[in-house]
Amino acid sequence: MSKKTNLSVVIPAYNEIKNLGRGVLRDVYKYLSAQKYSWEIVLVDDGSSDGTLKVLRDFAKKNKNVRVLKNMHAGKAEAVISGILASKGEVALFSDMDQATPINQIDKLLPKFNEGYDLAIGSRVGRKGSPFSRKVMAYGFMLLRTLVLRLPYKDTQCGFKAFKKSAAEKIFSRMKVFRKGQIAKGSSVKAGFDLEILYIARKLDLKVAEVKVEWRNAGERGGSGVSPLKDSWEGFRDLMRVRLNAFLGKYNVA
């Protein structure tokens, strides 16, 4: 790897044997290997209990520009934060292991940094293939976060977001709801993580580009992992936690 790394791809992993068996990492590696810019892959194991860590380490041993970080189980937020803070790229992307948004969609995000943006976030506009109930929930959540947090984005929850490294450091150092040292149960994928990122970015006056990206419904990949009622409640709870911290001035920029 050259001394200067253009892109870091951070992928959190918690009990991902099924997705790993589909060859998702092979696909990511193949795509990046064809690019002219320098890159690295940072795989962050979130305390998996199903053999995921061994698979990740074996993959890193066989392929250059791949690193593995081992975390105690603390949830996706800490896995992403630790991976991005440990990354070497000028731009850092976090992407879900299931590759619901394929890695090739980074082609749509990277040009935004040359246009002066600090963040580029994927947007699953339309959510083709998603059940009607999920679309209704997504629309309701969009209205709620617009009213409560004044976030002007159509999709805050897509697991495909890229940051200038300097912007990521500013945001993550100010997070209150999702930060290092937390204890998690289960997969711990929280809607509030993305909300807090984007709220702090807005408070810092960082430029955020929302870009349409391809997205495949979980059902097309052989699984869901979604609990509508639980996810809706946790999303609302986390949204209000961010709003409370904002009311208390905890995100104020000096």
Domains of the chain as residue ranges with CATH: 5-247 (3.90.550.10)
On the question of pLDDT at 82 being above 90, the answer is yes
On the question of pLDDT at 70 being above 50, the answer is yes
Q: What is the mean pLDDT of residues 154-158?
A: 90
On the question of pLDDT at 150 being above 90, the answer is no
Compute how many other C-beta atoms are within 10 angstroms of the C-beta atom of residue 136. 11
Question: In this predicted structure, what is the pLDDT of residue 240?
Answer: 85
Side-chain-side CA neighbours of 16 within 13 Å: the count stands at 25
Question: In this predicted structure, what is the pLDDT of residue 127?
Answer: 55
On the question of pLDDT at 136 being above 90, the answer is no
Q: Say how far apart CA 135 and CA 126 lie, in whole Å.
A: 8
Q: What is the mean pLDDT of residues 219-232?
A: 54
Residues 6+ apart with CB under 8 A from 154: 123, 125, 142, 210
Angle of the 191-203 helix axis to the 76-86 helix axis, nearest 10: 50
Question: In this predicted structure, what is the pLDDT of residue 237?
Answer: 83
Region for residue 188 given its phi and psi (left: phi exceeds 0; alpha: psi -120 to 50; beta: otherwise): left
- If DSSP codes are grouped into helix, strand and coil, which group holds residue 50? coil
Question: In this predicted structure, what is the pLDDT of residue 25?
Answer: 97
Q: Residue holding tokens 């001035």? A: 249
Q: Say how far apart CA 187 and CA 207 lie, in whole Å.
A: 31
